[in-house]
Every structure is written in C-alpha cells, then in structure tokens.
Structure 1
Amino acid sequence: MRVTDPVVVLTKARTACEIRAVTDWTSANYPQARIVGPPVDIDFDELSPDTLLVPVRAVWLPAVRQGQRRVTLGDVLVLSNPRRPLGIVQPIIRKRRPDSLRVVAGAPATIAELRERYSQHQAEGAPFAEFVVFQASMSAERAERQIVGDRYKVPRLVAEQISSSSRFQTSAAKLAAELGRPTDAVVAEATDKLSTFVATQSRLMDDIFSATFNRLHERAWNVTVDVDNLNTLRTLNKSTGLVFLPSHRSYVDPLVLATVLRDNDFPPNLVLGGNNLSFWPVGPVARRAGMIFIRRKFGADPVYKFAMRSYLAYIVEKRFNLEWYIEGGRSRTGKLRKPKLGLLTYVVDAVGQLEEADVTIVPTSIVYDQLQEIGAMAAEDAGGTKKPEGVGWLLRYAKAQRNYLGEARVRFGTPISMRAALDDAGEGRARLEKVAFRVMDEINSATPISATSLAGFALLGAQDRAYTLAEIEAILAPLLDYIDRRDLPGPDPALCRGTGLAQTLRVLAGNGVVSCYDGGSEPVWSIVADNHAVAAYYRNGALHHFVDRAIVEVAMLAVAEGEVRAGLHPTTEHDGPAENATETASAAAGAESGSSVVDEGLLAASQREALRIRDLLKFEFFFPPKTEFLHRLGLELDFLAPGWRAVTPTQEWTYEVLHGHTGGLLARRTLQPFFDAQLVFATRLVELGSNAREKDDLIADCLGLGRQLALQGVVRSKDSVSKDLYDGCYQLADNRGLIHGEDHDDVGAARHSWLDEVESMRQRLARIASIEEIQPAVWSEVAR
C-alpha cells in the first residue's frame, strides 16, 4: 500500500463503548483512516480501486470460569449474554475487567482485489456491496478466532452465500431444465429448503447446548480419548476438512464426541442427524449449536437433494468439519450395522465438484462400559416397537443418566483421504461400498475391548449355566493373553481377574444384567433370565477382534476330521458386499499367508474352507479383501501354532494344535449366535418349500421359531433370537437367491443345502465344545 492510498475501516460496532474502542484502535494503527459502519451504506463506485478496506470488530469475552471463558446457563437465566452485553452495562464491565473488550482486525484487501474475487465466485447480478460485507465479516471472524479459539469456528450467512454463488445458480438452471420448471422457481424452492436444515450456529447457543445437555453424560461416564491421534488430526485439519464417522451406540454419542473435541480446541463439527430429534426444546437449541436435521428419506425430492448436495459442497469447500453416523441408527446388538451410503454419496459428489478438493475421513469408535438404553434396544431387537422421542422421553432419559456407568472411550482409526480411498477402490458400482467397508474396518480396529464385554463373552457360553469367579477367570486368562499378544486395545487386566473381576460383575449385577447366587459353598454368577440380549450387546462390541481366530479354528477342525481334503474343487462363493464376482476362492487360496504357502494340499484346502465360512458370515462382519483376509489368517496361525510354516499340516498335527489350546479356543463363544440364527432362518425357509414370504413377515416368523427352538435347547445361544441377526440372515439368503428363487431352478433344494451347511458348522462348534470339556481341570488348577 502506498502512503497516499486511502484507508477505510469497516466495523459493525453498535454501542458508544464499542465505537470508542474501535476509534482508539484506528488512531493507533491507521491515523488517517475513515471509520465506516455499516459497510453496506458505502458507495464503492465512488472510491479509488486502491482504497484499502480493513475489517475491524469489537469482541467481548466472558469472565474466566474454571480456567475457561465460557457462557453458562446462569447467564442465560438472568437474560445476559457476556458475548454481547447490553450497551448500558458495557462501560461497567470494561472498568471491572479491562480485558473483557478486545479489538481485532481481519486481513485487509483493496477494492480492486475484492472486485476480482467477486467476478470469480458470485452469480451475475448479485450486489457487490453485499459481497464486501460478507468478505469483511469472514475476515474479522478469522481474526476473532485467534482470541476465542478454534472451538468457536462457526459458519456465517451460509444460505446467503450458497444461493448467491454462480455454481448454485448454474446447477439450479440445469435442474430446472431437467424438471421442466422455471429456473427462478427452482432457485426459490432450493433456497427455502436450504433454510430448513442449514445449521445457524452461534457461540452463545454452543455454550448453552454443551452446558445443558452435557449433563446427560458427565455424571454417567468418565470420558477418555487417545490424545496422540487427536494431535495427528489437528495437524491434518489445518489443510483439509475432517469428516468424523463414529460408531453409533447411544443418543449421547454426539455430546461425548463434541466434549472431546471442544476440550482439545477443535472447531465444532456440523452434525448430520435425523429430524426425529428436532422436537422442542432440543431442536431449536441443537440446530443453533451445529446440528443439521435432515429428512430420513428424500430420494423422491430432487430439489431437496440438490439443496443438500449444494450445502455439503459448501462445507467441503470451506473446510468445516462434518460428523454423521454411517450406520444410520444406533446398533441394537453391539456390532456395527451395515453402512448407509446416501450422505457419503453426496460428500463424494461435493469433492468431485471442486477441483483438487479433498476431505479426510476419521473412523471413530465410541464405546461405553454400560448403557442405560440397551434394555429398550434389546426389546426392539426382540420384536418390540420403538417409542417415539419427545419431551417426556427426554426427561426419562435424563433421569436414567444420573447413575455412574463406568468409562466412555473415544478412539480414532487411521485417517483416510477421500480421494485416495476412491482411487484405491477403482471403478464400478461397488466403489462406494468398498470405501464404506474400509471405514467400518478401521472403526472396528480402533474399538477398545471393555471388561464388561469380556464378562459377557465368558458368561454367554453355549451352555446356559452359572459360573464361579474362578471359572470365569480361567475362561478369560487365555483371552487376555491373546489380547496382549495381538496388541489389541484391551481393558485393564486387573478388571478381569480377582477382586477387579468381582467388581466388574457387581457393576453388571447392579444394572440387572447378571445375578449372583451365594447360597451354596461359593458364589456363582449367571445372566439374568431374559437379559441375554443385553449381555450379548456388551460382548458383541468386541467379537470382531476374535472372528478371524474363530474361523481359523473351525477351518482347522474341518481339516483335522477329514471334512475338507486336498484336491477338492473350491466352493463357489456368492457375490457379497464390495466383492468382485470374478475374484474366486481358488485365486485367493493361492495368495501368500504370512510369507509363503508351505503346502498346496491341506493348507490350500483349509484356506478354501476359511473363505467359505467367511462367505457365510459376510453380512455379520466387515471382512477385508480376500488376499488381505488370508494374510490375517496366516498371522492368526502364528499365534495359534508358532512355526507352522515349517510344518506339513497333516490332520494329526492340526488336531494336536487344537487340543493343545483347549483353554484358548474362541470359535464356540464367538460364532455360535450367528450360526444359531442361520439355523432358525434356514429352517423356516425349508418349511416354506419353494414359497416366498415378505421380509417383515419372514423375520417375525423366525422370532417365534427362534424362541421355540431356544426353549427346546436346539438353539444354544438365546441372544441369537434377534431381528438384527435375522436381518443379516435375510441378506445372506437373498444374496444366494434363496428368498424368491431367481438364481435357482429348485429353490427348495437350495434352501435344504444351506440348512445342511449351517448344521455342519454347528456340529463343528459342538465338537470344539467337547474339546473344551477338559477345562474343569484347568479351573481347579486356577482355584488352587
């Protein structure tokens, strides 16, 4: 800037106190400058193109409370906003706390520079003065965040920016032509729909929302987080927007994650959620704190889709952080649900619209020692009806959250570049599914194993019986060793043995999950009647860590007992999620497992069998591509049978390995519920002959049949009587053409074949149970 160039200070100072502060700042920094406000009143055509515009803002800071400057609920109750105090009290506040008022200046720009930006980004006909107002506001906002912190980074004037952009206007005109409607009408409707879901954030409401609703989790859990990964994310956030995709366990998930990010000075996430939670008073407050309430389904409304896509493109371009729950709803079983791809599709489209733009996906795991809401979710999974949310529901929920429930653990998987993930996924209809499944696999990898999940693992054996403390400890001892050797994110071992284990069980007993009978010579613990689904919820959160090992055990047993022999043709797999139909089991069987395949006979046969088991479970767990899956099985063999690469895997050797790990076999407790559920579903399909039945009716039939078979002792896992598990069975049967029979001439025979396959798996699990029967000697040794 030349000395002679004019300077105009643009400010929105609104009171005498604020104007005086801005005037003092201007005299010290730009003595010859002219102070103007509001800037929309300026005729910019009369100013020289070299005129320098300096955005300046008066910023009020709340008092320091517990080490932080934050508005409290008490401030609101007395109708005071410390961030915008009434003009009459401002001089008093400034006299008492001179540091309460700061003057900040944004990056200056000349009128010529602003006109160049305007020509590049604004739609034709948009007023230049409004563009200058917005640019000044954004510049001052960035300067203000240097004082208040990144946790108060919030988007401003969003709907106005989007609807006035040239990209929006051009896309709206294209959509109007496709719909055969006037462009102005489509623009007006899209702008109106933008206003229904755009989050109108304010710092005041962000403080109030956290101060009010954080009580829903602050008493119930002690929240922990891996700080090292947070530091990595903070560095990434300087150059790219973050998209947090957490597992969904509880209504408080967004509150817990928001607290973690806020306490570590991250910008607040814009959280996409269903409009079922937009009821008063939650909706109005939450929306102003960053919640974006959207319709559950809007595929039939092209203008709504266009507005949503435009909004997400804006968020990506401006590098605001996003958050949504990719499962689409809370898990009813403790396992991750199948990902919903709708919002991910829109973000991918948004990245594609912007040249060289990218976002970083952050797979996020949130796990709780205990949850009050599991009972209601288990009832829904057993066939009950979900109660609608409302004020009464919120009050009941808040009341239930008063009791301490242990820890809530927030962990982050490896960050994923959206563009890189799409490139790795290749082309084709399964591209987005592959990205989503990679995210789910990362969430699973980051998910910590809790002591309550291991307690459920021990008590939910195939036998419905009570266990002594020593027996439970004996079951968990090899499992803890396995967790340690695999370097899995396990619990404090002290909580799984001795007095720590007793305390874990007492906490579960206090919430009605387990019971203790102490009327005999020593106490015994068991699952409370009809609460198997609740205990299973905790167990299922950890099962994915053990499923590869379980598959190895079952496949090895098949080899040992001669059910699988070398030289057999590979079982034909059915195309599943994110799978390539041309990638056959035989190709994968030749892949290297660990370092090299030592035997092309029995080992290749066991690999094929492992892939067949994987195919049966592909709608229950998120498996990696086949080559990586076989590599993981090789690593599992390293733990199960060190030195296996130097051994010819005969049947005798395989059986010896299994018998040598009687205390550490995981297959029965890991896989029994899923094959029990498949038994029920396949049995019902066989009963139908070649007839078809609607999905909901078929699942309802299975709930009834499952309860019957559980009472008869045919189904060994009572927690397998589950709508969610039967839904997975439906997907598997549909994938195999067993529902309507499109892929089979004789669907009845194909259903029988699946039932036989499932029965074979359950028989193997029963034989593994017989191997484990020598464990009482181990228990006695532990007791001594």
Structure 2
Amino acid sequence: MAFPHSLTLVSRVLMTPLRAPMERLIAAWVETRLVEPPPDALDLDPALPVLYVLPRPALSDTLLLASLTRAHGLPPAGGRRTVGSLTLPACLALPVPRRRPWRRATRPQAPFRALIEQRGRGLEGEVQLVPVSIFWGRAPGKRFGFWKMLSADSWRLTGRLRRALSVLVNGKSVEIHFGAPLRLGDLLVEADGPPDSAQTNRKAARLLRVHFRRLRTRVLGPDLSHRRTLIEGVAASPEVRRVIGELAADGRPSPARLERRALRYGREIASNMTYPVLRFMDGLLRRLWNRLYDGVEVRGLERVKALAGDHTLVYVPCHRSHIDYLLLSYVLYRDGLMPPHIAAGRNLDMPLIGPLLRRGGAFFLRRSFRDNRLYATVFNEYLHRLISRGHPLEYFIEGGRSRSGRMLPARPGMLAMTLRSFLRSAAGGTRRPLAFVPVYIGYERIIENASYQRELRGGRKRRESPLALMRVLGQLRQPFGRVAVNVGEPLVLADYLDETVGPRWRHGREERPEWLGDLVPRLGETLGRRINAAAALNPVNLVALVLLATPHHAIEASLLERQLALLAELQRRLPGGTHASLPEGEPAGWIDQAVGLGMVERRAHPLGDIVVADAARAALLGWYRNNVLHLFALAGLTAFAFRHQASHHPEALETLLAPAWPILTRELMVAPPASLQAGLAEMLALLGDLGLLEREGEHWRRRGEPLEAGECLDLLGQLMQPSLERGYLLLSVLLDAGTGRLTADELAGQSRQLAERLALLSGLDAPEFFDTRLFVSLVESLEREGWLWQEAGRLAFDDRLREAALQSRRLFDPALRHRLQLVTRRG
C-alpha cells in the first residue's frame, strides 16, 4: 500500500528505534494547558478501530498525541492499525499542497481512498476517524517578538525548523482539541447510487478541512493585520474621506490637517492585541483569581463554541465591576476561545494600565462623540472593520457599571453601530453571520462595595487612576468568595431581524433604514432579559433576598434556612430564568458562607441562633439582592397579593395583578410568560405543592396552619414590596397633579423625593430605593404600555390610568396604604 509522501516520511520516522525516546522526551517537555473535550468524554465505539487525523503532517503532533492517548487510556495513536485487510498508521494527516518553483501548487489526495473502497465492497472495514487539532501557543496577531513570531501557532503553515522552535518555546502552553468521530460508513450511506471512492475521499477530506478551519478560527480568531496598517486603512476609507471633504468644504481645517486628526483618532481608539501580553495576563490573572476568589464557575460555554467557528461573536456581559473586563477574556482564553476586542471607556486609558489593556485587546472610546463627526466616522469605520473581518467583540450595553446591582437599560450607541455595520456588510454582499452572546457575571462579593454605596448616596464618582488601583490591590487579602460566569441564550442577528423586521432588511441597501431607531431599544431590552435569564444565585444574594425582607434585618437561623430552601425549590421547579443557576450545598452552608465573607453576622442565643445585618451591611446586601430579584418576580407578586387578602379566585387575581405585571417585568428586565393567566396558574399550583397556599373550591387561600407557612409566604411577598411602593408613590404624584401638568423629569424628581422621605421615616437605609433612574425607567414603562403619552412636552393620561391605579391599591394592606398616603400628602 503506497501512502502520500508526507505520510510516508512521518511513518518511517515513527518506525525507527528513535520513536520511543522521542515520545518520552515530548511527554516530559510538554504541558497541555487544555484538552477539549476531556478524553473520557469522547463518544468512541470500543468495537471499531480508531484512526486519528491531523490537519497537516507534523512529527511533534504525532508523538504528542501518542503520549496523550497512552496516558488517558484511549486507543493508541502510535504504531499501526489493522482495518479489514489494510494496515495503516494509527495517526494520519491531511496532505498539504506541494509547491514547486516550475509548476502550480497541487493538493495530493487524502489518504482515505483505500479505506473507502474496502468499506464499499462489504460490511467489513468500518473505522472511526477522530480529527485532532494541536496548538503550540496561540498567536492572534503579528507583533509579538522574534522568537514568538517564529514559533507560535498562527494561520500560516509551519516548516520543520519553525515547528522545532515551537516545541521548544511553547511546550508549556499546548492545547489539544478532539473533534467528533466520523464514520466512513455514514459518508457512503449519504452517497446517491454506487459509491464513488474518489468523490467520497474528497468529501471526507473536505468535511475534515471545514472542521479544522472552524476550530482554528474559534481558537485563533481571524488574522489581525498590523495595527499601523489598520489605522491607515481606516483613515483612508471612503467614508472617512467623504467626511473630511465635507468638513473642509464648510470652512473647517484643511484636508491635510483633518487627515492627521483622523490618524490621531485612530491611534487613540485602536487596540494593539499582542500574544505575549495575552500569555502574560493569562498567568497573572490565574494567580489573581486564585488569590482573590475561591473559584470561577463557568456555565454554558458550549453554546459559544457551537457558533465561534463561523459567526462573528459580540459578547454583551452585564457590567457590575471593573473585574468584568478581565474575567471574561481570561475565561475564554482558558477554555480555548479567542479573547475579544473590548470596548473600554477612555477614562481607563491611563498611564501603565491603558497600554496593558490595549495590548490585551481593549479599544477605547470617548463617553460622547455626537458633536464630533470625524471622530464618530473613524470609530464607526474601525468597528466595522473588526466586525466584517470576524473578530470577536465585547462591550457593555449598560454603558457603565451598575451601582444598584440591577441590570440597567441598554444604551443605544454600540448596538446601533453594530447593527449598521452588519447591514452595511449585507448590502455589500459579504454578510458574515453575527451573534450576540449574553453573559451574566455574578459575584459573592465585589471590590467596589464602598464606592457604590457612596455614589448612591450622592457622592461624586472618583476618577480612575493608578493610585486608585493601588488602593484596590490593598484589599486582596480579604475574602471575596466565588465568581460565576453564565452564558445565556445567544441571539443570531439575522434570525432576530427576520422575526422583528421581516425579509425587507435582506433587500435593503440603506445603512440606516427607517426601522432602525425603533429596533435598537427592542434589541437592547431583549439582550438585557437574556442576560438576566442566566443569573447565578449564590449564598450571598440568597441570604440578602431573605434578610432584607425582614423589618429589622434580623431573622432566626432556622427560619432563614427554611426560606432559603423555599427559594431554591422555587427556582428548581419553576425557574425565573431559562439558564439561571443555583449554588452547590445546602442552606446551612450558604449561611456559613455569607457569615465567612463578612456580609452578615450570626449571634448565638439560648433559644436559637439569630442572623443579623447592621445598617451598613444591610445597605451592601441590597446590591446583591438586586442582582437576582428578577428571578422571583412572579412568585413575589403572587405572594404579595395574599398578604392582607386571604383568598383569591384565579381570574380575580389575574385582574388585580394585570396592570402592575408588565411594568414590573420591564423594571426588573425579566422575560414574562406568554400568558399571565397560565403563569399564575402554574405559580399558584407550585405554592400549593410547597405548602404555602391551599385550594378551597375554585379559590386559593393562605394556610392557617402551620404558622411557618404564613411567615414564608410573607417573606416571599415582601420581595416585591419596594417596587410596588415606588409605583404607588409615582402614580399618587401624577394623579394629584392631574393630566398635562408635569413633565417626565418633574414627575421622576418629585417621586424620588417622596421615596427618600419614606425611606427616612421608615428607618430604611437603602439609597437604591430612591434611585432617580428607577423612577425615570418607571415613567418610560408607563409610556411604553400606553398609560401615559406626551402632549406639548407634558404627561397626559385618561381615566384608564386612574381606574388601574385604584385597582392596584387593593394590593396594599390598609396600614401600608395609610402610611404611603401620609407621605404623599405631607410631601
């Protein structure tokens, strides 16, 4: 049996006496940073022989694979394998084109034809082909030092000398990726009529090459051109040249001066991602996470890997901490995905930190550039080139970090620019699939605790500086618990446009169609809900949910355990988010974890321990509660309805909750059930199963016994009381003023003042309760639902709003209603 030249060369070396010592040397020198999937997870049929397939001939890859398969008990990749009547090397490689100076490059045939002919003659000779990709270092760009440039894996094929250098230089950073086994018999079944061995051979090779190319794109990303060349290309693009011409014609600076300014803007914006910095930051962050946190839990990354090979990925994480910038890139790099280019505020482009972030993939943008056409055009062109070339991106749709712990409404800027870039590529006929990847990042404790509380109380946001970073580093000795990175349901943009806009977007040639302005807020809301649907419950936010529902932020440890178990069971049986997660362990351990992090205090008592939080801790816990409050929106609202009215008919309950429910879902950014009626029916049945309610004919009622059931139901209902109180205050201000009397800003401002007054009179030290943005969002939600509209810049309404407000007041017990009325009247 004759094999291609490159295969024959490798097999000759492998059959020499040097094979065993070379394999031992490779095994001793190399450290595999990642093996994916784990070897024991490969779905191999033990009854069928296995042949491993490499994307190109490489002795180092073959030796390393042989060592790995032996160490993990896989079918050996060394030696030869008998398949039917054929004897083949256990490790094959796809051939590479042979280049000769005097002739065109030709691609030799793939080495499967003999196998295919044998398999086509009968049932014997079935074989499993397992594709294997091995990366010796990872090089996303070109500017990273002489030895790294020579040796790191990139898109260029490597010669023997460069491969030897790669083994020496990158032997401590090797990734191995196994593909799904491919059976030759499946290819023959798909063929029409008698199998053509030559055609099936080409088909097998094509399928494997597609797999290798997709995986290489996923791991290495597209080839990144030289930064200077990219910036010059942006400044010389037709769009930038057009704006320069228009500005020069208006009597602005000369074209030459505007061209220099465009280049300066490009250098200010563009990232400079380099391989040594990624490697350095990988090692640095690994040590940082090990010191700062007890672990980083990642869920749902398989949804990203399914898209990474042929989609441009835009990661849209929630923004809770400065750590977010580093954490997601670290997780992606660690798990074999290309780190994204990250949109960062220009305030982070400070001495020492800025250059490091820029080389790690950050590109910087100004807070606002609406009045600077040239800067806006340069930034749009730079972003378009990244997107059109398939580079993964990351930006925070909220704009800034959430000081209240809630998911903030999406800002339109980056989303609109991404949409326009996608439409521009589609109009040019070079459409590449684009997918948004929502990511929820959850902390048990954040490093910005103190600064967030100060800013919520009206303090000025301090400017970032290296000195401020040094102050943060001083906290590294404190415990910060665990971190969760949960990937939500990706949103494929083309499918979303088909669903919301229809097929007209595919035939348009406009970069800014008339429907774009309405679509961007809807897209932001959808992404916000998908981020929240992947929320991570942890011991701290679970304890915060319960403890802050008590009047004095103190609760018996036994009751706290029962309530924590109730919240966990609600999430298991009727999840508030499709990809939300629960912590490991039991409620008693969760309480100990919160105590160990210093978030609550456990006080011993002869009649049973009590868990308490002083005023300062309670204010901090509000941030963590708000991270996950949305997961219990329907459960909390349903329980609240039973606080002072013991019995409800399901239809009457739906009528009572219907006005408040859509406003609440928009405030909390939670995807509502398709039908409130069906959602309520499920929730009532679940609360009945959990012993909090009981059915009496067609009505649901509170249970009289045991008393613990009533306590648990009240604590659950208390979760939604702050949101309902804010709505009550705002409607009271609006109805007292009358239609057409207040602007949106005036209504939000007066409502905030009343909420602050209520908080002070109630002894509630929770600045997020009277956060102005919550009232602004509430006004916008009422407008979106059609309860309010603008007339001459002022808010107008009709009797429908008055009737809905009167109906919603029935949710409040008389004492609470009286307290709220006193606050509004005296205010």
2:756 aligned with 1:668: no
Shift of 1:547: 0.3
Counterpart of 2:291?
219
Counterpart of 1:725?
774
Counterpart of 1:253?
324
CA distance 1:650–1:559, shift in 2 (3 Å)? farther
Deviations 1:610-631 (A, max 9, x none): 3311244254222447745655
Counterpart of 2:813?
763
2:527 aligned with 1:439: yes
Counterpart of 1:14?
none
Shift of 1:718: 7.6
Mapping 1:384-395, distance limit 5 Å:
384-395=459-470
Q: Which amino acid aligns with 1:376?
A: S
CA distance 1:183–1:236, shift in 2 (3 Å)? farther
Deviations 1:649-679 (A, max 9, x none): 9996133589996334665232112223345
Counterpart of 1:771?
none
Counterpart of 2:372?
301
SS in 2 for 1:349: helix
Mapping 1:332-351, distance limit 5 Å:
332-351=403-422
SS in 1 for 2:416: helix
SS in 2 for 1:245: strand
Distance 1:460 1:763 in 2: 20
Q: Which amino acid aligns with 2:435?
A: T
Distance 1:723 1:166 in 2: 41
Counterpart of 2:455?
380
- Give the TM-score taking structure 1 as reference length: 0.67
Q: Which amino acid aligns with 2:148?
A: R
| Residues 333, 533 of structure 1: 8 Å contact kept | no
Distance 1:607 1:196 in 2: 55
SS in 1 for 2:314: strand
SS in 2 for 1:330: coil
Shift of 1:523: 3.1
Q: Which amino acid aligns with 1:473?
A: E
Mapping 1:76-225, distance limit 5 Å:
83=148, 99-100=167-168, 150=219, 155-158=224-227, 160-161=229-230, 163-164=232-233, 168-169=237-238, 172-173=241-242, 176-177=245-246, 180=249, 189-212=261-284, 216-225=288-297
Distance 1:765 1:638 in 2: 29
Shift of 1:421: 1.2
Distance 1:482 1:641 in 2: 12
Q: Which amino acid aligns with 2:774?
A: L
2:575 aligned with 1:504: no
Q: Which runs of 5+ in 2 are unaligned?
A: 1-95, 107-134, 152-160, 171-211, 502-514, 818-827
| Residues 241, 359 of structure 1: 8 Å contact kept | yes
Distance 1:357 1:145 in 2: 14
SS in 2 for 1:461: coil
Distance 2:166 2:242 in 1: 53
| Residues 225, 409 of structure 1: 8 Å contact kept | yes
Moved more, 360-369 or 375-384: 375-384
Q: Which amino acid aligns with 1:484?
A: R
- Give the TM-score taking structure 2 as reference length: 0.63
Counterpart of 2:481?
406
Distance 1:233 1:148 in 2: 13
Counterpart of 1:286?
357
Distance 1:719 1:658 in 2: 35
Distance 2:570 2:136 in 1: 44
Q: Which amino acid aligns with 2:388?
A: E
| Residues 363, 412 of structure 1: 8 Å contact kept | yes
CA distance 1:624–1:481, shift in 2 (3 Å)? closer
2:550 aligned with 1:550: no
Deviations 1:694-731 (A, max 9, x none): 949964x7666545433433879786244443444454
Q: Which amino acid aligns with 2:520?
A: L
CA distance 1:461–1:526, shift in 2 (3 Å)? same
Moved more, 239-248 or 428-437: 428-437
Mapping 1:25-104, distance limit 5 Å:
83=148, 99-100=167-168
Shift of 1:216: 4.8
Distance 1:483 1:629 in 2: 18
| Residues 329, 340 of structure 2: 8 Å contact kept | yes
| Residues 425, 434 of structure 1: 8 Å contact kept | no
Residue number among 649, 653, 669 corresponding to 1:622 in the alignment: 669
- Percent of paired sites with the same residue: 19
Shift of 1:465: 4.4
Deviations 1:122-162 (A, max 9, x none): xxxxxxxxxxxxxxxxxxxxx99999993586622256347
Distance 1:465 1:165 in 2: 57
SS in 2 for 1:546: helix
Counterpart of 1:41?
none
Counterpart of 1:655?
701
SS in 2 for 1:442: helix
Distance 2:216 2:423 in 1: 35
SS in 1 for 2:369: coil
| Residues 296, 482 of structure 2: 8 Å contact kept | yes
Shift of 1:372: 2.5
SS in 2 for 1:334: coil
CA distance 1:278–1:170, shift in 2 (3 Å)? closer
**What's the RMSD between the two structures over aligned residues?**
4.8
SS in 2 for 1:447: coil
Q: Which runs of 5+ in 1 are unaligned?
A: 1-27, 35-49, 54-66, 72-78, 87-92, 103-142, 563-601, 644-648, 768-784
| Residues 557, 654 of structure 1: 8 Å contact kept | no
Mapping 1:422-433, distance limit 5 Å:
422-426=497-501, 427=515, 429-433=517-521
2:324 aligned with 1:238: no
Counterpart of 1:455?
543
Distance 2:487 2:549 in 1: 31
| Residues 676, 715 of structure 1: 8 Å contact kept | no
Shift of 1:458: 1.3
Distance 1:624 1:746 in 2: 27
CA distance 1:715–1:203, shift in 2 (3 Å)? closer
Distance 2:397 2:166 in 1: 47
Distance 2:704 2:421 in 1: 52
Residue number among 561, 577, 582 corresponding to 1:491 in the alignment: 582
Counterpart of 2:157?
none
Shift of 1:99: 3.6
SS in 2 for 1:377: helix
CA distance 1:166–1:551, shift in 2 (3 Å)? same
